[in-house]
Structure 1
Amino acid sequence: MFSYCTDPSTLEGFKWLSCYLTTGKHMSLYSSVFVVLALLAITAPTALLFGFTAATAARSRVAPVRWVSWGYTNIVRGVPDIAFFLFFVIALDQGFEWLRHKVKCSDWDQPIRQGVDFVVCDIAKLPLSNAPQWVHETYGFFLAVLTFAIVFGAFASNVIFGAMRAVPRAQMETAEAYGMTRRQAFWRVMVPQMWVFALPGLSNLWMVLIKSTPLLFLLGVEDIVYWARDLGGTKSARFTDYPHGDWRIWYFLALLVFYLAFTRVSEITLDRLMKRLTKGQATAGGEAQRKAAA
């Protein structure tokens, strides 16, 4: 990046460090920070949508709908995250390819399952082998977002369902007494109020989601943990212009600072959001605000 980085062997001190930290691989490390932030920005609302849908389904009067919601939340919550990430992504990817295979290669006369191999026609593969690299990376990122959303959506469902039950039944009865239908009372009375009760649990889920982003490595996405381990490992002059010893401790220390700073910013933001939601509410948080203002 800098003009004096032409011959790294002649550099030392700050110049050597500045050239070392601006190599192509380090740029990939810096860009992977935005990959993690993009994952969180997309996954959080998607998981919230999964959780809200499942929690609403759990309150349905139709028994099969409740059973589906119960099965989703309990099965996903009961499977260790790492096992789910290792198995589900493969199954999801093969499921997409199987559907494309059935549509695009209906004349295929060979079994798809051939021992331990999963074989589909070339045009059914996702992504196509001749697709650009960015397509492969985008597809892997999509699978990561969907997997994270399904996992954390199951936990969010349990939190939101409990928050819905925490809304006083008397308020729902009052709304119905004023002539609201069950659907109107749900959207106009329960949903606006239940977020106050759901936010503490959802805040914890957000923190867990932040700490779970290193699992991107298991999904084939080159995240900050992948690059930190790769760049921090011992490098010899035979393989790189910037040889160094085992510096992984420094790279992982930088990751520690990044995650701690990010979680601290999240705590401050969520605390302000909680104060805003509880203002004027008949909750412990609202009561504390009233006493503080008195």
Structure 2
Amino acid sequence: MFSFCTDPSILPDWQWMACYLTTGKHMSIYWSVLTVFLLLAITAPTALAFGFAGASAARSRIAPVSWLGRGYIAIVRGVPDIAFFLFFVIALDQAIEYLRHRAICPDWTEPVRQGNDFVVCAAAKMPLGNAPQWIHETYGFGLAVLTFAIVFGAFAANVLFGAMRAVPKAQLETAEAYGMTPRQTFWRVMVPQMWVYALPGLSNLWMVLIKATPLLFLLGVEDIVYWARELGGTKTSRFTEYPHGDWRMWYFLALLVFYLMFTRVSEIVLDRLMVRLTRGQATTGGEAQRKAAT
């Protein structure tokens, strides 16, 4: 990137480091930070949607719907995250390829299951073998987002279900006494007020989601953990013009600082959001604000 980077072997330390940190390989780790932000930006609202649907289903008066919501919460929360990530992504990928295989290659005579191998026709592969690299990366990222959303959606559903039950029943009964239908009571009374009770739990869930982003590495997505391990390993002059020893400790230390700063900024934003939501509410936070104002 810099004009003085033509011959790294003769550069002083600070110029060598400046050139080293701006190589094409290092641009990959900088882009992977954007991958983490993009994952969070998509996963958080998607998981919240899954959670809201699960919580609404769990409190439904229709028994099968309620069983479905409660089962989703119990099953996903009861399975270790790593086991679910490894199983679900493989199962979903194979399910998509199997359905495509049945639709595209109806004349296929060989079994799909051949021992430990899962074999489908080339046209049913997802993505296709001759597809551009960005399609492979987008497909893997999409599976990762869906998996994150399902897992954290179950935890969000549990939080929102508890928040819905925390809304005072007297307010719901008052709304019904004024002639509101159950649907109107739900959307106009319960939903606006439940966020006050849900935000502490959702805040903790957001922090856990941030800390869980390194699981992208397990899903085959080249995230910051992948590049930290890749770039921090020992490099000799035979393979790179910037040889160095084992620097993984420093790369992972940089990741530690990055996540600490990110979570600290998140805490500040969530605290301000909590203050805004509790303003005027009949809660401990709302009472504290009224007393401070007087």
Q: TM-score, normalised by structure 1?
A: 0.99
Mapped to 2, the partners of 1:251 and 1:260 lie a distance apart of 14
Structure 1: distance between partners of 2:61 and 2:109:
46
Q: Which residue of 2 aligns with 1:51?
A: 51
Residue 189 of structure 1, CA deviation: 0.4
User: Following the alignment from structure 2 to structure 1, what is the Cα–Cα distance between the partners of residues 260 and 181?
Assistant: 47
* Corresponding residue of 1:41: 41
Instruction: Give the whole-Å Cα distance in 1 for the aligned partners of 2:150 and 2:261.
Output: 27
Q: Give the corresponding residue for 2:278.
A: 278
Partner of 2:126: 126
Partners in 2 of 1:15 and 1:101 — Cα distance? Answer: 55
Counterpart CA distance in 2 for 1:155 and 1:179 is 34
* Residue aligning to 1:104: 104
Shift of 1:9: 1.5
RMSD: 0.8
- d(CA) in 2 for partners of 1:108, 1:189: 56
Partner of 1:180: 180
Equivalenced residue count is 294
1:258 aligns with 2:258: yes
State the SS of the aligned residue for 1:241.
coil
Q: What residue is the counterpart of 2:223 in the other structure? A: 223
Shift of 1:105: 1.4
TM-score under structure 2 normalisation?
0.99
- 1:60 is paired with a residue whose SS is coil
Structure 2 gaps of 5+ residues are none
Q: Report the counterpart of residue 168 of structure 1 in structure 2.
A: 168
Q: What amino acid does structure 1 have at the position aligned with 2:292? A: A
Percent of paired sites with the same residue: 79
| 1:27 counterpart residue number | 27
Query: AA paired with 2:27?
Result: M
Secondary structure of 2:144's match? helix
Amino acid at match of 1:98: Y
Write the distance in 1 (CA, Å) between the matches of 2:157 and 2:67.
Answer: 14
Deviates more, 1:96-105 or 1:260-269: 96-105
| Cα shift readout 1:139-159 (whole Å, capped 9, x = no counterpart) | 010001000000000000000
Q: Which residue of structure 1 aligns with residue 207 of structure 2?
A: 207
Residues 229-252 of structure 1: CA deviation (Å, up to 9, x unaligned): 111111111111101011111111
Instruction: Report the alpha carbon displacement of residue 187 of structure 1 after superposing the two structures with TM.
Output: 0.4
* Partner-residue secondary structure (3-state), 1:22: coil
The one-letter code sitting in structure 2 at the alignment partner of 1:244 is H
Corresponding residue of 2:117: 117
1:138 is aligned with what amino acid?
T
1:12 Cα deviation (Å)?
A: 2.3
**Cα displacement string for residues 203-223 of structure 1 (whole angstroms, at most 9, x for unaligned residues):** 000000000000000000000
Q: Does 1:138 align with 2:138?
A: yes
User: 1:73 is matched with which residue?
Assistant: 73
| Amino acid in the other structure paired with 1:120 | V
Per-residue CA distance 1:85-117 (angstroms, 9 max, x = gap): 111110011111111112111222221111111
- Structure 1: 5+ residue stretches without partners: none
The CA deviation string for residues 233-272 of structure 1, in whole angstroms up to 9 with x for no partner, is: 1111111110101111111111111100000000000000
Q: CA deviation at 1:160?
A: 0.1
What is the rounded CA distance, in whole Å, between the counterparts of 2:235 and 2:256 in structure 1?
23
Shift of 1:283: 0.4
Q: What is the DSSP-based 3-state SS (H/G/I as helix, E as strand, rest coil) of the residue aligned with 1:246?
A: coil
* Structure-2 separation of matches of 1:40 and 1:121: 35
**Counterparts of 1:94 and 1:106, CA distance in 2:** 17
Deviation larger for 179-188 or 101-110: 101-110
Q: Would you say 1:193 and 2:193 are equivalent positions?
A: yes
Amino acid at match of 2:289: Q
- Shift of residue 131 of structure 1? 0.4
Instruction: Please state how far the C-alpha of 1:70 moved relative to its aligned partner.
Output: 1.5
